[in-house]
């Protein structure tokens, strides 16, 4: 090439092909999707735009930013942390490394809430208190408020940093919720009709993806085979949850039988089980 010849132009399809190959070589199964998400975020476009504009010219500055983000992904930093948000139940939630990344498996907790909400609402003449314990980014509680607008929702977490993110998400999504710093239900002063909780339940001995190394350990791991916090919440819920109320928990399916047995000891009856979700009713 002549030294006066122009440098080759980098277009989106070329960058995506290179990034996809690099991610695939690193053993990342979602290589193409991740590459598209990184480039779309860098160009401030959506993935549909990339599909329709494979010849979009990428500037040197955009290439530098996209390459830096690709390097993070190759280090197994989750895409959600790289682009700063994650979709949950059709809405984007801001996330940082102070919070667990919302996962599709958790959406079943909203479906279980939807299942029980008409009956609970009827029992309470329309006044329903729902508390999201261990809220993290606020995904569960904020989604519940937006799906069931008449519900009084409180988000609780032991982490001040997580609650900062939850407050931001509530503001961005225009959800009027209460926010409370506390260890499980210890600071919650009311008698809720619904408790929703995706507490840490991972046992450190389990095999897990490299991406979890970048998530906050306090939001992932629990002692006693991952069950210690869930067991503590069951004990608290026994005395605080309204009669006939619902306790909705997320846990790995391999833990379900142990959780069901413990919940029955404290006066809860399993009403539904779906994926990672368990729905109990208080018998008292």
CATH class for domain 99-282? alpha beta
- Cα R_g (the chain), whole angstroms: 22
Measure the CA–CA gap between 99 and 160, rounded to whole angstroms: 11
Q: What share of the chain is helix, strand, coil (3-state, %, to 5)?
A: 45, 15, 35
Measure the CA–CA gap between 226 and 220, rounded to whole angstroms: 9
pLDDT value, residue 37:
96
| HSE-up of residue 85 (Cα within 13 Å, Cβ side) | 13
pLDDT value, residue 283:
85
Q: What b/e string do you get for 29-51 counting C-beta neighbours within 10 Å, with b at 16 or more?
A: eebbebbbbbbbbbbeeeeeebe
- CB 104: neighbour CB atoms within 10 A? 12
SS (H, E, C) 99-112: CCCCCHHHHHHHHH
- In tens, the pLDDT along 102-159 reads 999 999 999 999 999 999 998 887 789 999 999 999 999 999 999 999 999 999 999 9
Query: What average pLDDT does the segment 161-168 reach?
Result: 96
Length of the chain: 284
Is the four-CA dihedral 109, 93, 198, 213 of positive or negative sign? positive
- In tens, the pLDDT along 167-216 reads 999 999 999 999 999 999 999 999 999 999 999 999 999 998 999 999 99
pLDDT value, residue 13:
95
- 3-class DSSP state of 184: coil
pLDDT value, residue 4:
55
pLDDT value, residue 3:
55
Q: For the domain with range 12-75, which CATH number is right: 1.10.760.10, 3.50.50.60, 1.10.8.10, 1.10.645.10?
A: 1.10.8.10
pLDDT value, residue 2:
52
Token couple for 160: 């001040």
Pinpoint the residues of the chain covered by CATH 1.10.8.10: 12-75
Burial of 245 (0-12, 13-18, 19+ CB in 10 A): buried
- Computed over every residue of the chain, the mean pLDDT equals 94
pLDDT above 70 coverage of the chain, percent: 97
- In tens, the pLDDT along 40-60 reads 999 999 999 999 999 999 999
Are the C-beta atoms of 224 and 262 separated by less than 8 Å? no
- In tens, the pLDDT along 254-283 reads 999 999 999 999 999 999 999 999 999 998
pLDDT at 7 over 70: no
Measure the CA–CA gap between 228 and 182, rounded to whole angstroms: 17
pTM for the structure as a whole:
0.90
Pinpoint the residues of the chain covered by CATH 3.40.50.150: 99-282
pLDDT at 25 over 60: yes
Are the C-beta atoms of 282 and 243 separated by less than 8 Å? yes
């Amino acid at each position: 090439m002549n030294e006066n010849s122009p440098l080759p132009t980098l277009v989106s399809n070329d960058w995506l092909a290179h990034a996809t190959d690099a991610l695939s070589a690193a053993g990342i199964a979602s290589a193409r999707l991740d590459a598209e998400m990184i480039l779309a975020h860098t160009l401030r476009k959506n993935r549909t735009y990339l599909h329709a504009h494979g010849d979009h010219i990428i500037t040197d500055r955009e290439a530098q930013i996209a390459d830096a983000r690709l390097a993070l992904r190759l280090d197994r930093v989750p895409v959600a942390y790289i682009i700063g948000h994650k979709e949950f139940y059709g809405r984007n939630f801001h996330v940082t490394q102070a919070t667990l990344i919302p996962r599709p498996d958790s959406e079943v907790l909203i479906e279980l809430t939807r299942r029980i909400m008409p009956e609970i609402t009827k029992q309470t003449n329309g006044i329903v208190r729902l508390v999201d314990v261990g809220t993290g980014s606020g995904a569960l509680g904020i989604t519940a408020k937006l799906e069931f607008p008449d519900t009084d929702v409180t988000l609780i977490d032991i982490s001040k940093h997580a609650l900062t993110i939850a407050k931001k998400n509530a503001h961005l999504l225009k959800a009027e919720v209460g926010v409370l710093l506390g260890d499980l239900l210890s600071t919650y002063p009311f008698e809720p009709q619904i408790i929703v909780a995706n507490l840490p339940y991972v046992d450190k001995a389990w095999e897990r993806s490299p991406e979890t190394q970048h998530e906050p350990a306090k939001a992932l791991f629990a002692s006693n085979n991952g069950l210690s916090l869930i067991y503590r919440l069951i004990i608290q819920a026994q005395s605080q949850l309204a009669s006939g109320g619902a306790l909705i928990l997320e846990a790995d399916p391999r833990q379900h039988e142990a959780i069901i047995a413990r919940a029955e000891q404290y006066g809860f009856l399993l009403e539904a089980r779906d994926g990672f979700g368990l729905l109990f009713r208080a018998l008292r």
